[in-house]
């Protein structure tokens, strides 16, 4: 077995560790793996082009990202922050837990592409989370903002990952069904989806508690900060 093509994985790890742009890193990793696998440059470029054209999901992102970029340039993030600041009853925990619930329910219905990092987390959820956190602790540092964005992204990941397994037409559900069928265990996609439902509920509860604890930590820091300001 030729293990040299696995160096493409090392290229991805190194590129992400150095915080390079994800798109050229992935393309370079594909080129490295293809060349080490013995593919000629024209064949490799043809394979990349065919994969790009045949991937409808990738085309959706290609069409979505320019639109999101234009909206951000027009002030979408700033408007989202201002709108969040006017909602006095909307706390950080309520915002993220509400988004988690919507995201997980949509994933259960098979609507995985409705929300996501590019469509909602970066332009809407992350700036709204920052605005909600500023109502608790006005003196947010750059590290705090990075952590808030990570919490928002993790909330989206949890909602999609654990919600999509409840959708019976998902490829992963069919893969599980095929695996058990090979071992003589006959399961219907509906049965697999129903068994995934308790896991989705537990994941929702755990992530909600984590969000609530994060908000509590901000509140304790805010009390300490106000005490220092008053002193």
- Boundaries of every domain in the chain: 79-230
Separation in Å, CA 141 to CA 34, 95, 121, 147, 157: 43, 21, 20, 10, 24
In this structure, the chain runs to a length of 231
What pLDDT, on a 0 to 100 scale, did the predictor assign at position 158? Answer: 95
What pLDDT, on a 0 to 100 scale, did the predictor assign at position 43? Answer: 85
Q: Is the pTM of this model over 0.75?
A: no
What pLDDT, on a 0 to 100 scale, did the predictor assign at position 230? Answer: 67
What pLDDT, on a 0 to 100 scale, did the predictor assign at position 176? Answer: 80
* Residues of the chain scoring pLDDT < 50: none
């Amino acid at each position: 077995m030729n293990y040299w093509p696995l160096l493409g994985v090392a290229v991805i790890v190194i590129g992400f560790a150095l915080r390079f742009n994800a798109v050229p890193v992935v393309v370079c990793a594909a080129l490295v793996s293809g060349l080490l696998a013995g593919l000629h440059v024209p064949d490799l470029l043809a394979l990349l082009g065919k994969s790009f054209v045949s991937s409808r999901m990738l085309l959706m992102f290609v069409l979505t990202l320019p639109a999101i970029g234009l909206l951000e340039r027009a002030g979408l993030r700033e408007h989202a922050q201002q709108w969040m600041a006017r909602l006095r009853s909307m706390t950080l925990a309520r915002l993220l837990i509400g988004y988690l619930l919507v995201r997980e329910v949509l994933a259960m219905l098979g609507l995985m592409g409705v929300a996501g990092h590019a469509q909602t987390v970066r332009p809407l959820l992350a700036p709204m989370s920052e605005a909600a956190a500023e109502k608790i602790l006005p003196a947010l540092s750059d590290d705090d903002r990075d952590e808030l964005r990570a919490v928002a992204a993790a909330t989206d990941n949890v909602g999609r990952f654990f919600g999509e397994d409840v959708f019976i037409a998902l490829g992963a559900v069919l893969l599980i069904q095929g695996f058990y069928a090979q071992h003589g265990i006959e399961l219907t996609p509906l049965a697999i989806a129903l068994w995934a439902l308790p896991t989705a509920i537990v994941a929702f509860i755990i992530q909600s508690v984590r969000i609530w604890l994060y908000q509590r930590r901000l509140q304790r820091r805010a009390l300490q900060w106000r005490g220092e300001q008053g002193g």
